[in-house]
Structure 1
Amino acid sequence: MENKNNTVAYLPEMTAQEQKKFKYWERRTMLACIVGYAMFYFVRKNISIAMPYMNEELGISKTDLGLFLTLHGLIYGLSKFINGMWGDRSNARYFLVSGLLMCAVANLFFGLSSSILVLGIFWVINGWFQGMGVPPCTRLMTHWITPEKLATKMSLWNTSHSIGAGLAIISCGYIVSINWGNYFAETSILSQHWRWCFLIPALLVVIVGIFVFFLVRDTPSSVGLPELKGEKSKSQSKKEESAEFKAFVKKHVFMNPTIWIIAVGNFFLYITRFAILDWGPTMLKEHLHLDISQAGWSVAAFEIAGIAGMLAAGWSTDKFFGGRAPRTCVICMSMSTLCLISLSMLNEHSSLILANLILISAGFFIYGPQALVGIAAANIATKRAAATAGGFCGLFGYGSTIVSGWGIGLLVEKTDWSIAIYALIGVAIMSALIFALAWKSKANGYED
């Protein structure tokens, strides 16, 4: 059925008034998902700017800082996987906001702590609650957006990664540049720059979390609208706890070769992404001798370029590859390899403009596949197991922090940044080769 006004023609079971209301709530849900998930980065990637100062003011080594990143990432990946299974059967509104508020609490305690052990504990706790961000957003979008438009719309949502990380790094770069000793006694812990990278974002996240709670609703039926075509009724959805649901998840997620290929490719992709995002400010400060605020802007440029990369990747996947995301991933990771090769040629005498152009190009090509992994997993597993599939791929992605966190920190301490960049080139090549194994895979699993 075609709608003459071209408004929600893909909702044939709804009246014109229902379609209008649906579009309103669809836009509102997208806004809530973008704003809500962006805020997770304010209480996650703030540590990237804080690390050089934690090294100077607390004497924490790069290896220990890398261990923070690794443990946080591993717990986050595990949380994303477990919460993905819970998220498929939970109210996304409460799930999303609860995760945000608990991350804010963990950041508050982290910013007020000094012991390496206590800092590590609170950062690991933060990692667990960070895993409550993606599953509810995945659930929301697969219930409000049809599969035919999911790649484009989820790519739009994925810009929240870059928006959040970019704004967090820029703002924290300015926060640490403030001389807090002018406002607090020298003996006070609040005179230390790095602490405010956690205290101020924590307060901001609480405020925005309340806003998101009032903005979002779980499913169309929550606001009196029919579910999307193909959605199970409430009486049927209760069977998701049954053996039939477990068999469905086993077939479409855990025994699905394409999901495994995407997940392993995601492991290598995330090493590349996190190495630049987490260590970028430190690398630019030490390797290229940039001021920390300049380094923050440079890494933010990497993130901002990622927004364009996500949108371009989602659009091109739907336009040229019929929704087959792995094909776009292969092309993007091949181009990312070339960007890293260019980065390896820079030194302290290189032009800042050239360095930023390379980072911008790298961000464009790395964030394309980063967005598509979740989209591909959601489409292949179908909306019934979308959060579980996303969590499974996320488990591999954040398992990569063993390499991008502790591994990179140790490698740099034992060698130098040049060797670390060469290692990342090899990692990017591996990611492209693995994604290529899924080149002939189907676009989605709805016909299986």
Structure 2
Amino acid sequence: MKNFRKDQWLMLLVTMFCYLFFYTGRHNFGWAAKDMAAELGISYTMIGWISFSMLIGYAIGQLVNGNLADHFGARRMVPLGAFLSISANIGISYATDVTVVLILWTLNGYFQSMAWAPGSRLISNWWRPEERGKAFGFYTMAAGSSSAVTYLLSIMLLHQDQSWRYLFRLPVLLLLVAAIIFAIIARDKPSDKGYADFMEDGEDNTETSWRERYKIVLSNRKFLIASLAIGFQNMARYGLIFWAPVHFLGENWKASPNSLWVTLLMPIGMAIGAVTFGNLSDSVFKGNRPRSIAVGMSASAIVALLIFFTHSHNIIQNSILMFCAGFFAYGVQANFWPMSPDLLGRKYTGTGIGIMNMSAYLFAAMGEPILGKIIDLTKDTSFVFLAISIISLICAFVISFVGYKKEILNETIPLHKTNEE
């Protein structure tokens, strides 16, 4: 059992490590947007549509790759997605036409979608239900930390007066290294390392067709409502990730370069919020993940309103607000992912998370051009935070319709034991 526990954590940590650098291939875009728009002569509305294209590509990819993850596993899919995403980013760094950027960024969205659901399936295979909130909290923390890594690298490059093109070339090299390490160490399930796989109550290990997997997931009403709720949560999240850099870059950020560091507190808040809400859902909320989500998104709405109304140039105040914005708007996402194995069973985790994440990114995609249009109309980036406040409240309202019982987190039963257990 001691060896299993060690490998259990190793699988979680190597999956986290790989995902820690995945956002270097997609959250770099917000930092490149201002200079890209100026050089290519396009509006912020068009920038919003380019961001929309990536998110649509990601959403479609989730629908497909979540299902494939239940068949092929993470060890093959995650590195492939990383290598393809790196290629798309480097291609964009040499583009001189907005159409080329649009096409490559759309494809990049699909490539980026090959990691989250497969990684989630791997974690579900290695972690039992009573600890999944914690495991997914750490996994989601890695995603939030990935935003922080990307923000840090982007700010450093901008402070060195590097072209926006280098934002697509240099950070993704870290993803290349992480993907190679993942391919070497990761194993999709305990039996791949000589341990016994385990099953949940009522679960069997027979192979199901891709049609059957979709049918099971799409017939679960509670899961569909949760998927709708995460759509609004992710719309608020991406409103922060994409437009907060634009807001703080302002008309002339070089006149006050320290203001850029304020934005770094947001992804740090996201990372800490994820691991915090992951543990809170198992402890304080006793497995009632919808309730913890509603609390977090209500707090997110309040913070976004404070940012909108204050218009402060105080770095300390802005730092606190951006940290809290990230903490609440993204932290609750750690509570969405365990709902897939909780409501559907571990067997359909990949398909479920794929569909849930598809909904998340469809909504985020729809939000980007709308928020871009709001900025073009108002000539004021702060109105993005008013919109985020409203979106957060809608999420809190929708998730309240998901009834959740503690019984869904019941014990798992092992199929068999090996000497190594």
TM superposition score normalised by structure 2: 0.91
Matched, 1:148 2:130: yes
Aligned residue in 2 for 1:127: 109
Rounded to whole Å, the distance in 2 between the matches of 1:111 and 1:428 is 34
Matched, 1:68 2:73: no
Among 259, 278, 286, which residue is 1:322 paired with?
286
Among 174, 177, 195, which residue is 2:159 paired with?
177
What aligned pairs does 1:30-429 form with structure 2 within 5 A after superposition? 30-180=12-162, 193-230=163-200, 237=205, 239-241=207-209, 246=212, 249-251=214-216, 253-286=217-250, 294-347=258-311, 349-415=312-378, 416-429=380-393
Q: Is the 8 A contact 1:275 1:408 kept in 2?
A: yes
AA at the equivalent of 1:411:
I
Rounded to whole Å, the distance in 2 between the matches of 1:239 and 1:174 is 49
Rounded to whole Å, the distance in 2 between the matches of 1:171 and 1:73 is 22
AA at the equivalent of 1:76:
Y
AA at the equivalent of 1:70:
F
CA 1:446–1:292: 2 relative to 1, 3 Å: farther
| SS of the residue 1:199 aligns to | coil
Rounded to whole Å, the distance in 2 between the matches of 1:199 and 1:232 is 48
CA 1:200–1:232: 2 relative to 1, 3 Å: farther
Q: Is the 8 A contact 1:170 1:293 kept in 2?
A: no
CA 1:105–1:382: 2 relative to 1, 3 Å: same
Q: Is the 8 A contact 1:285 1:292 kept in 2?
A: no
Q: Is the 8 A contact 2:52 2:368 kept in 1?
A: yes
Q: Is the 8 A contact 1:280 1:295 kept in 2?
A: no
Aligned residue in 2 for 1:15: none
Deviation of residue 346 (structure 1)? 2.5
Rounded to whole Å, the distance in 2 between the matches of 1:275 and 1:242 is 33
CA 1:290–1:277: 2 relative to 1, 3 Å: farther
Rounded to whole Å, the distance in 1 between the matches of 2:109 and 2:225 is 25
Deviation of residue 161 (structure 1)? 1.1
| SS of the residue 1:410 aligns to | helix
Rounded to whole Å, the distance in 1 between the matches of 2:258 and 2:398 is 35
AA at the equivalent of 1:306:
M
Rounded to whole Å, the distance in 1 between the matches of 2:299 and 2:349 is 29
Q: Is the 8 A contact 2:144 2:274 kept in 1?
A: no
CA 1:439–1:204: 2 relative to 1, 3 Å: same
CA 1:324–1:230: 2 relative to 1, 3 Å: same
Question: Residue deviations 1:288-318, cap 9 Å, x none?
Answer: 9676854542222111112221122111111
Q: Is the 8 A contact 1:83 1:135 kept in 2?
A: yes
Among 434, 437, 444, which residue is 2:398 paired with?
434
Rounded to whole Å, the distance in 1 between the matches of 2:251 and 2:406 is 44
Aligned residue in 1 for 2:416: none
Rounded to whole Å, the distance in 1 between the matches of 2:190 and 2:206 is 17
CA 1:440–1:237: 2 relative to 1, 3 Å: closer
Question: Residue deviations 1:230-289, cap 9 Å, x none?
Answer: 4999xx74532287xx1x6534x2111211111111111111110110111101222896
Q: Which runs of 5+ in 1 are unaligned?
A: 1-18, 181-192
Q: Is the 8 A contact 2:48 2:369 kept in 1?
A: yes
Rounded to whole Å, the distance in 1 between the matches of 2:103 and 2:260 is 26
Rounded to whole Å, the distance in 2 between the matches of 1:381 and 1:86 is 17
Q: Is the 8 A contact 1:108 1:198 kept in 2?
A: yes
Instruction: Compare 333-342 and 287-296 and name the one that shifted more.
Output: 287-296
Q: Is the 8 A contact 1:81 1:388 kept in 2?
A: yes
Rounded to whole Å, the distance in 2 between the matches of 1:446 and 1:82 is 30
Rounded to whole Å, the distance in 2 between the matches of 1:307 and 1:443 is 29
Deviation of residue 421 (structure 1)? 2.4
Rounded to whole Å, the distance in 1 between the matches of 2:14 and 2:256 is 32
CA 1:386–1:330: 2 relative to 1, 3 Å: same
AA at the equivalent of 1:214:
I
Rounded to whole Å, the distance in 1 between the matches of 2:168 and 2:256 is 17
Q: Is the 8 A contact 1:87 1:95 kept in 2?
A: yes
Rounded to whole Å, the distance in 2 between the matches of 1:116 and 1:358 is 35
Aligned residue in 2 for 1:16: none
RMSD over aligned Cα atoms: 2.3
Question: Residue deviations 1:3-34, cap 9 Å, x none?
Answer: xxxxxxxxxxxxxxxx2221222111111111
Rounded to whole Å, the distance in 2 between the matches of 1:23 and 1:172 is 37
Rounded to whole Å, the distance in 2 between the matches of 1:119 and 1:168 is 20
Deviation of residue 441 (structure 1)? 5.0
Rounded to whole Å, the distance in 2 between the matches of 1:72 and 1:242 is 25
Aligned residue in 1 for 2:418: none
Q: Which runs of 5+ in 2 are unaligned?
A: 412-421
Rounded to whole Å, the distance in 1 between the matches of 2:333 and 2:255 is 29
Q: Is the 8 A contact 2:305 2:389 kept in 1?
A: yes
AA at the equivalent of 2:124:
T
Q: Is the 8 A contact 2:61 2:114 kept in 1?
A: yes
Higher relative contact order (CA 8 A, sep 6+): 2
Q: Is the 8 A contact 2:200 2:346 kept in 1?
A: no
Q: Is the 8 A contact 1:267 1:397 kept in 2?
A: yes
AA at the equivalent of 2:285:
F
Rounded to whole Å, the distance in 2 between the matches of 1:194 and 1:350 is 26
Q: Is the 8 A contact 1:313 1:328 kept in 2?
A: yes
Instruction: Compare 138-147 and 411-420 and name the one that shifted more.
Output: 411-420
Rounded to whole Å, the distance in 2 between the matches of 1:109 and 1:361 is 36
